[in-house]
Each structure stands twice: as C-alpha cells, then as structure tokens.
Amino acid sequence: MSYTEYMNLGLVLNVLIRLSILYFLGEVILNPDDPRFAGKAIPIRNLIIVISFSLLFPILYFWKKKWRRYPFWWDNLYLSIFALDMAGNSFNLYDSYFFFDLVPHFHSTAALAAVLLGAFSLPFWSGVGLANIIHMVLEAQEYYTDVFLGTHNVRGLFDTVNDLTVGVLGTIIYGLIYLYFTKWRKR
C-alpha cells in the first residue's frame, strides 16, 4: 500500500468514525428515555463530546497548525475512544454484559496515552501518567454525578477500582507497543 493510499484510508476511516459519532448523538437525542440511555446523562455527554472533544485534532491542525499533515491515524485512534463508549451504549453492551465497561476503560485510557505519546510527542511516563490522571478525573465525575445528580453509572467501589486498574494496564501495554514500533524497532 502506498503512502497516499494509506492516508486516504485514514481519511475514509476518519469520516466513518465521525459519522458514527454523529449517529450515536442523534440516537440519544431522539430517544433520551430509552432504557439504554435513561438515567445516565448520555444525551448531554454525547453532545459535549461531539461539539468539543471530537474537534480537538481539526482545531489543532487548521487553527494552530500543530502538524504539517493532518494526522488521520492519530485522530482515528483518539476518536475511537468516543465511538467505543457510544457504541457500547447504543448496542446496550454496558447493561447486557456485566464486565463490558472494562473494555472501553482499558482501550480509552490506553488510546489516549498512545495519542499523547505519538501525536503530541510526550515522554513515555508523561503520556501514561496524564492519560491516567484524566481517567481518574472522569471516574470521579461519574461517581459524583451519580451522588449529586442522581444518575446511575457506577455500580460500586469495585467498578471504579476495576476501571482504574484496567486503565493503568492499558496505558502501559499501548505505551510499550508505541515504544516498540517507534523507538526500539529502529535499533
């Protein structure tokens, strides 16, 4: 596969991921009382993701000129964080499979670490550490929205501990894979 084909594939995948995220937003806005979404504050969360977080790479590229070429593959990995979470709700995986939430907590924290290492050139422990700090803040937000706003996202202390544990494992595994392909393999 040529470099141009590789980048075109990245662009097509980027468009597909963005369209799926928009679909998931539309689904929860049109069906906020659906049992898959009810009591979890998903419509507002998905709206915030679509109008802010999902635009990080386009904003940094077009406005700040962060990269010489648009980093489609890093953006795709970053967007996969949101797409996986939204798909889990849309397909009712969180409620149907008790431990499903470990999958997005593993991948999302790990993907964020890889993006921080690759797209933003953070040193290994900075990328891994920052991804886990962000994950910890999001876990606290989940817990406190349950306590103060009456949502039901956290099933207990074990849920938070397991989410944080798989997040740490994921960041180390994805981080080591990143190091292997970028640093160690070149030797």
Interhelix angle for 102-118 vs 157-182, to 10°?
40
The helix-helix angle for 42-51 and 3-30 (nearest 10°) equals: 150
Burial pattern 53-68, b for ≥16 Cβ within 10 A else e, equals: ebeebeebbeeeeeee
Per-residue model confidence (pLDDT) at position 152: 86
Euclidean distance between CA atoms 117 and 179, whole angstroms: 9
Encode pLDDT of 116-160 as tens digits. 999 999 999 999 999 999 999 999 999 999 999 888 888 888 999
* Ordered per-residue pLDDT tens for the chain, 187 residues: 898 898 999 999 999 999 999 999 999 999 999 999 988 889 999 999 999 999 999 999 999 888 999 999 999 999 999 999 999 999 999 999 999 999 999 999 999 999 999 999 999 999 999 999 999 999 999 999 999 988 888 888 899 999 999 999 999 999 999 999 997 666 5
**pLDDT at residue 186 in the model:** 62
Neighbours of 29 (CB within 10 A): 14
| Location of structure tokens 């049992």 | 35
> How far is 133 from 137, CA to CA, in rounded Å?
6
Q: Give, as one character, the DSSP assignment of residue 54.
A: G
